[in-house]
Amino acid sequence: MLTVLILVPLVGALVIPFLPAATARSIAIGVSAGTLGLGVAAATMYDVGSGMQLEEKVSWIESFGVHYALGVDGLGILMVLLTVVITPVVMLAGWHEGEEAPRSYYAWMLALEALSLAVFCATDVFLFYVVFEATLIPAYFLVGGFGKEGRGAAASKFLMFQLAGGLVLLASVIGLYVVSSQQGEPSYLLEDLQDLDISTGAGRWLFVGFFVAFAIKAPLFPVHTWLADTTEKATPGVSVMLVCVLDKIGTFGMLRFCLGIFPEASQWATPVVVTLAVISIIYGALVAIAQDDVLRLIGLTSLSHFGFITLGIFVFSTQGSSGAILYMVNHGIGTAALFLVAGYLISRRGTTLISEMGGLEKATPVLAGLMLVAGLATLGLPGLSPFVSEFLVLLAAFDYAWWVGAFAVTGIVLAAIYVLWMYQRIFTGPGHEIAGAADGHGHAGHDGAGASSGSTATAVRSKVETIPDATPREILAVAPLMVALVLFGFFPQPLLDVSNPYAEQLLQQQVGVQDDAPEVPPADDAETGE
């Protein structure tokens, strides 16, 4: 089942380069829709609360003790669903993104989807490492091939950071082999490694390798600098794939491998990790406030969000872990919506700079509404899904230490500032001169765009008012995300039902922490977002 799920987009990616360019887009969307169907089918076959499921296991490289082993648990199935939903949405929303070379764009997109799915399904550390690194190749070509000016440098920076993390991880993966072969037959299967008796010293070193790689991936504070550059230069759709799907591998890996294989070392490292997480929350938000480039801004908000997720993971309570898992899903949905709506705006205005937008609300009320919902979700407004997860993480943080919770709460206040101020600058106030449509961003060709507009306010206003509102295709693309934001805001129970048993099992059996599962927070005091 899982193999088929991975193979469908992979085969799509391999076939598309040989098809006529005109059909690439429709075939790619069809393939990703098919993958979505398979993902949903897998989810229906998933039985909540009984550990690793849909397992497959074939010996792959015998002399390394490596298996081709797949399986999903509560965490895995949520990430798989997130991936299969986001990919078609991105392709539909980023209709014009790959126009220069549609075949390679859609082939790389599908390859990225396939490899990400493989990452979330892998239950063999070696297999995980292989696909973890392999995702970088499509990501590199997507960032480098389709962004705006300066994308080559951004792509290289992205790749260098990720590969550096990957090689540090390689050292730890090799270390695991050595430890495992000292205790008999070498094996990379997760189930074998979890039972491995790793000495304290070795465990800590190996943990550090894993954690550094995942911290770069997620990203966390000192190693986040690739994030803003990459999201700024890449197209919005590619940024969604990177931030909402690929970066989840970081926090996914922390839960699955750091906590799963090195419970002792994870607890040992908690003070440092929690500090880094809190710094990321506050620093990411502060830096985001100061951004003028809307894509950069959204990228940096994610730094703040990943701080929250990491915090939830490393406070070692079921509430925190379950909240973090929920947060991963919700952040994926919310940030994807933000990026995509921002992408719509950029394609209309021909600029990514907030200071050059303004006064768009009248011309594009629908876009403004979409942006507001996505923005309010990002700042954690009750009634929208990210609130639930943020609430759980904060509860757990206060449980851990009151001052950690207090610092983390400021992140929410700062989030309100960056979201609302961004909204204000883009949609309200007087309109700005419209920069040339071809300037900077890839797709030209929107009417209404011309560099020669007059400088008086009236002339500008008339220009701004000619900007078309969202098209049905654009609305359709983000509609699933919006529905999910509201739906899971009021009924988070389905998600919690999946994440709770996983978190309990992980913490009680692997880490050895006892506490109660979180209840659904009262949703009745919630207000609707829009």
Partner 1 sequence: MDFIKPTIEYVELLPLFIVFGVAALGVVVEAFVARERRHVVQVSLAAAGVVGAFAATVVVGLDLDKTGSGRGLVGAEGSVVVDGPSVYLWGLILIFALGGVALFAERRLEAGVPAFAGQAAALPGSEGEREASTKGLAHTEVYPLVMFAVGGMMLFPASGDLLTMFVALEVLSLPLYLLCGLARRRRLLSQEAALKYFLLGAFSSGFFLYGVALVYGYAGSMSFGAIHTSVVNGSDNRTLLLLGIAMLSVGLLFKVGAVPFQAWTPDVYQGAPTAVTAFMSAATKIAAFGAILRLYYVAFGADRWDWQPMMWVIAILTMLVGAVLACVQTDVKRMLAYSSIAHTGFLLTGVLGVQAASELADSQITSLQAVLFYLTVYGFATVGAFAVVTLVRDANGEAPSFVRWTGLGKRSPVVAGVFSLFLLSMAGIPLTSGFIGKWAVFTVAMSSGAWPVVLVAIASSIIAVYFYVRYIRLMFFTDPDPDDEVASVTTPSLFTSVTIAVCAVVTVVLGVVPGPVLDLAAQVGDFIR
Write the DSSP string, 51-89. SSEEEEEEEEEGGGTEEEEEEE-HHHHHHHHHHHHHHHH
Q: What is the signed CA dihedral for 92, 369, 374, 436, rounded to 10 degrees? A: 60
Spatial contact of 388 and 521, defined as CB atoms under 8 Å apart: yes
Grouping H, G, I as helix, E, B as strand and the rest as coil, residue 306 is: helix
Residue 106 token pair: 């859609």
Spatial contact of 29 and 87, defined as CB atoms under 8 Å apart: no
Peptide bond before residue 219 is cis, with ω within 30 degrees of 0: yes
CB closer to partner 1, 211 vs 314: 211
Residue 332 token pair: 């994926």
User: Does 428 sit near partner 1 (CB under 8 A)?
Assistant: no
The rounded distance, in Å, linking the Cα atoms of 385 and 330 is 6
CB closer to partner 1, 170 vs 479: 170
User: Does 334 sit near partner 1 (CB under 8 A)?
Assistant: no
CB closer to partner 1, 68 vs 308: 68
User: Does 175 sit near partner 1 (CB under 8 A)?
Assistant: yes
The rounded distance, in Å, linking the Cα atoms of 297 and 418 is 8
Spatial contact of 299 and 232, defined as CB atoms under 8 Å apart: yes
How big is the site for partner 1, counted in residues (CB under 8 A)? 39
User: Does 219 sit near partner 1 (CB under 8 A)?
Assistant: no
Scanning 58-66, 189-197, 235-243, 389-397 for contacts with partner 1 by CB under 8 A, the matching segment is 58-66
Q: Which of 22, 47, 184, 201 binds partner 1 (CB under 8 A)?
A: 184
Scanning 69-77, 138-146, 257-265, 312-320 for contacts with partner 1 by CB under 8 A, the matching segment is 138-146
CB closer to partner 1, 233 vs 348: 233
CB closer to partner 1, 11 vs 290: 11
Q: Which of 85, 131, 218, 495 binds partner 1 (CB under 8 A)?
A: 131
Longest dimension (CA), the chain: 79
User: Does 171 sit near partner 1 (CB under 8 A)?
Assistant: yes
The rounded distance, in Å, linking the Cα atoms of 386 and 70 is 29
User: Does 196 sit near partner 1 (CB under 8 A)?
Assistant: no
Q: Which of 63, 455, 456, 458 binds partner 1 (CB under 8 A)?
A: 63
Q: Which of 6, 139, 159, 434 binds partner 1 (CB under 8 A)?
A: 159
Please report how close the Cβ of residue 188 comes to partner 1 at its closest, in angstroms: 11
Residue 126 token pair: 């070696």
User: Does 456 sit near partner 1 (CB under 8 A)?
Assistant: no
Q: Which of 144, 250, 263, 489 binds partner 1 (CB under 8 A)?
A: 144
CB closer to partner 1, 2 vs 78: 2
CB closer to partner 1, 175 vs 448: 175
The rounded distance, in Å, linking the Cα atoms of 180 and 194 is 11
Residue 365 CB neighbours (<10 A): 13
Phi, psi of 404 (to 5 degrees): -65, -45
3-state secondary structure 110-123: HHHHHHHHHHHHEC
Measured in whole angstroms, the distance separating CA 47 from the mean position of its chain's CA atoms is 25
Please report how close the Cβ of residue 207 comes to partner 1 at its closest, in angstroms: 16
Scanning 33-41, 144-152, 190-198, 211-219 for contacts with partner 1 by CB under 8 A, the matching segment is 144-152
* Closest C-alpha among 428, 331, 448 to residue 388: 331
User: Does 62 sit near partner 1 (CB under 8 A)?
Assistant: yes
3-state secondary structure 203-267: HHHHHHHHHHHHHHHCCCHHHCHHHHHHHHHCCHHHHHHHHHHHCHHHHHHHHHHHHHHCHHHHH
User: Positive or negative, the Cα torsion across 18, 23, 28, 30?
Assistant: negative
Please report how close the Cβ of residue 161 comes to partner 1 at its closest, in angstroms: 10
List alpha helices for 94-224, DSSP H: 102-121, 125-134, 136-146, 151-182, 190-194, 200-217
User: Does 141 sit near partner 1 (CB under 8 A)?
Assistant: yes
User: Does 509 sit near partner 1 (CB under 8 A)?
Assistant: no
Give 331: exposed, middle or buried? Use CB within 10 Å, 0-12, 13-18, 19+: buried
CB closer to partner 1, 233 vs 296: 233
User: Does 156 sit near partner 1 (CB under 8 A)?
Assistant: yes
CB closer to partner 1, 136 vs 282: 136
CB closer to partner 1, 157 vs 461: 157
Q: Which of 15, 37, 50, 181 binds partner 1 (CB under 8 A)?
A: 181
Q: Which of 7, 19, 40, 163 binds partner 1 (CB under 8 A)?
A: 163
User: Does 442 sit near partner 1 (CB under 8 A)?
Assistant: no
User: Does 111 sit near partner 1 (CB under 8 A)?
Assistant: no
Scanning 168-176, 236-244, 247-255, 392-400 for contacts with partner 1 by CB under 8 A, the matching segment is 168-176
User: Does 125 sit near partner 1 (CB under 8 A)?
Assistant: no
Please report how close the Cβ of residue 78 comes to partner 1 at its closest, in angstroms: 25
Scanning 132-140, 252-260, 352-360, 422-430 for contacts with partner 1 by CB under 8 A, the matching segment is 132-140
Q: Name the site residues for partner 1 (rule: CB under 8 A).
A: 60-65, 129-134, 136-137, 140-141, 144-145, 151-152, 155-156, 159-160, 163-164, 167-168, 170-171, 174-175, 177-178, 181-182, 184-186
